[in-house]
Amino acid sequence: MKASGGVTPDAGADSADAFSEITASALLTPLGNTPEDNWRKMAFDGATLNRSMLIPDVEEAIKDRFPESPETQDFDRVIKIALLAAADALAQTDQPRLSSDDALFVATSKGPILTLLSALKNPMNVGTIAAEQIALGPGAVSSYLQRLLGTTDIAHTSVAACAGSLTAVYRAHQAVQAGRHRRAIVVAADSSIHPLFDSSFARLGILAPRDERGLSECRPFDPAGKGFFITEAAAAVILERPKSGAIRLEKTWLGGDATDLLATDPAARSLRKGIRYLAAGTSIDFVHAHATGTRHDAYELSAIAEIKPRYVFSHKRFLGHSLGASGLVGLVLSAMCHRHQMTLMGDSLPRESASLTLAQGFGGHIGAVRLHCANQ
Reported pTM: 0.94
Do 331 and 371 meet the contact criterion of CB atoms below 8 Å apart? Answer: yes
Q: Which of 150, 168, 35 is nearest to 92 (CA)?
A: 35
**Residues lower than pLDDT 70 in the chain:** 1-17, 245
For residue 180, what pLDDT is reported? Answer: 82
* Residues 6 or more apart whose Cβ sits within 8 Å of residue 269: 6, 257
Q: What single string gives the DSSP state of each residue in 272-291?
A: HHHHHHHHTTS---EEE---
For residue 9, what pLDDT is reported? Answer: 38
Do 309 and 284 meet the contact criterion of CB atoms below 8 Å apart? Answer: yes
- Give residue-wise pLDDT tens across range 70-80: 999 999 999 99
Dihedral sign (CA 339, 343, 346, 348): negative
Domains of the chain: 2-16+246-374 (3.40.47.10), 20-240 (3.40.47.10)
For residue 15, what pLDDT is reported? Answer: 39
Do 254 and 7 meet the contact criterion of CB atoms below 8 Å apart? Answer: yes
For residue 81, what pLDDT is reported? Answer: 98
Measured between alpha carbons, how far is residue 77 from residues 54, 73, 242 in Å?
Answer: 10, 9, 34
- The helix (run of H) or strand (run of E) holding residue 118 is helix 113-121
- Give residue-wise pLDDT tens across range 83-123: 999 999 999 999 999 999 999 999 999 999 999 999 999 88
